[in-house]
Amino acid sequence: MIRVVVAGAGGRMGRLVCEAVAAADELELAARLHRGDDAPGLLGDAAPDVLVDFTLAEATRDLAPLAIEMGISPVIGTTGLTTDDVERVRRACHDRGVGAVLAANFAVGAVLQMQSAEALARHLPCTGIHEVHHPAKKDSPSGTARATAERLGRLTGAEPAIQSERREGVVSRQEVSFGRDGERVVLVHEVTDRRAFMPGVLLAVRRARGLPGLVVGIDALLG
């Protein structure tokens, strides 16, 4: 049985993660962590194997290293973290021998879109990324759009431009466009229900303890 604490348990994603963990085989929801709680005390009392963190970047900067120091594997869905933040988590995992997962997007379709974008970018130039999210999203561009642009940039040497839009009634939508010489290809990934993220989150929870360190993205977990 894998014991799980969910940080940000009162938020949109946090509530869904709590429900998914509670309903999943071989997982146990050990505790819910809310803003203002005594995190070291709660983690110590709950003795979890995994901490799922869907809070804000400023909270994750303290919470992830704390969990790793306590031998708890973090599964981080927080966006807005800097390169230095990620490297700090990576070093902590290495030093303590703790596995962890950090992903900008836990939707399997989003990962497949990025992989497809890389395949297309080998043959057609990317003409841009257009991401649309709900107005409450804190970061702009989204973590998924930045991750997509970075992956294409590593492949082609130049990151495509990102257009960000915030619109009521939208959960998330990302278009990655390619084209030249009278042809155009558009990859679209759209999430209409946040439950679409749960299979990826649960996969990360089940795999995190066995990882050799920090894994960024769920690509490797999908095989």
Exposed / middle / buried, residue 89 (Cβ in 10 Å: 0-12, 13-18, 19+): buried
Domain co-membership, 148 together with 38: no
pLDDT at 136: 86
Among candidate residues 123, 130, 134, 137, the one labeled active-site is 137
Among candidate residues 34, 94, 130, 133, the one labeled active-site is 133
Instruction: List the Cα angle 21/115/110 in 5-degree steps.
Output: 40
Domain co-membership, 201 together with 184: no
Q: Which residues contact 30 (CB under 8 A, 6 or more apart)?
A: 3, 4, 5, 46, 47, 48
Q: In sequence order, what DSSP letters do the residues of 29-57 get, joined into one string?
A: EEEEE-TTS-HHHHHHHH--SEEEE-S-H
Report the residue count for the chain.
Answer: 223
Q: Using CA atoms, how far apart are residues 182 and 169, in angstroms rounded to an integer?
A: 34
pLDDT at 67: 98
Count up the domains in the chain and report the number.
Answer: 2
- The three-state secondary structure class of 90 is helix
Q: Using CA atoms, how far apart are residues 158 and 114, in angstroms rounded to an integer?
A: 16
pLDDT at 79: 83
Domain co-membership, 18 together with 98: yes
Q: Using CA atoms, how far apart are residues 218 and 201, in angstroms rounded to an integer?
A: 9
**Residue 187 contacts residue 145 (beta carbons within 8 Å):** no
Residue whose tokens read 């003795």: 47
Residue whose C-alpha is closest to residue 21's, from 7, 40, 34: 7
133 is known as an active-site residue: yes
pLDDT at 107: 95
Q: Using CA atoms, how far apart are residues 64 and 76, in angstroms rounded to an integer?
A: 8
pLDDT at 25: 95
Q: Which residues contact 175 (CB under 8 A, 6 or more apart)?
A: 129, 130, 131, 186, 187, 188
**Residue 79 contacts residue 102 (beta carbons within 8 Å):** no
Which residues of the chain carry a pLDDT beneath 50? none
Domain co-membership, 26 together with 83: yes
- Domain containing residue 150: CATH number: 3.30.360.10
Domain co-membership, 88 together with 135: no
- Domain containing residue 73: CATH number: 3.40.50.720
34 is known as an active-site residue: no
Domain co-membership, 75 together with 97: yes
Domain co-membership, 115 together with 187: yes
pLDDT at 104: 87
Q: Residue 155: give the domain boundaries.
A: 108-192
